[in-house]
Amino acid sequence: MLDQIIPTVEALPGPGVLERIAFEQPWPAVVALLVIGLLAAVMLIRRGRVARAVVIDTAATALAAGLIVSATVVTTDHERVRAGSRGLVAAALAGDESRVGEILAPDARLTAAGASSVGLQRDAVLAAVRALPGRAPTRGHAIVDLTASVDGANAARSRLVVRTDFRGGGPAFSAWQLNWRLDPGGAWRVTRIEALSINGQAPGPWLAGEIASLGR
């Protein structure tokens, strides 16, 4: 039954291999460097080349440490967009209008997939967020799937599937695409929230009306 309502979304292309290893997921490379360095050192020591073994093992350890430092210090745009996506969902479901307002761009809007209409403008979205805890309280939520793509110097997208547990009801599953823009101050902000699927159904023009009614 759940298979029929849990939406699937096409994954967005992630960062390149080098960026991912250097800044986001260094641990496989770190382990590989340490193992290779250790094995090489053992082989060289058995051949009596102790000094060279020390140099190689030290170099491998230094490279591994460098990867850990770079991943700790540097936060990529890809990571920022993913974190922002999670933050937007959490803030919206908590009714945190202020936090959602910080994430949304001044020209942000909410639309349904394939809809030709403009949808809801930013103020209407914020009004719905403010009213959500009272009109549709939740017990919790989970991000079932999340991918993100940085498409240019100041443009990015994220797609996510959200499970929302409403009080007095079962779980609801929805899929969304967020379009992001890097503003002059260096913050990524959402310019468009596009509903892709609601409980396995393609959302229609009714969605904007339903969300807008929360804020009335």
pLDDT tens by residue, 132-157: 888 888 889 999 999 999 998 899 99
Q: Looking at the structure, do residues 68 and 88 belong to the same domain, yes or no? A: no
Residue span of the structural domain in which 61 resides: 17-73
48 and 104 assigned to the same domain: no
pLDDT at residue 93 above 80? yes
Does 129 share its domain with 203?
yes
pLDDT of residue 211: 66
Tell if the pTM clears 0.85, that is, is over it. no
Alpha-carbon distance of 85 to 177, in angstroms, equals 10
Specify whether 111 is located in the same domain as 194. Answer: yes
66 with 137, same domain: the answer is no
H or E element that contains 194 = strand 188-198
Same domain, 146 and 160: yes
Are 53 and 24 in the same domain? Answer: yes
For the chain, what is the domain count?
2
Specify burial of residue 132 (Cβ count, 10 A radius: 0-12, 13-18, 19+): buried
Could you read off the pLDDT of 101-141 as tens digits, one per residue? 999 999 999 988 766 555 789 999 999 999 988 888 888 99
Are residues 55 and 89 both part of a single domain?
no
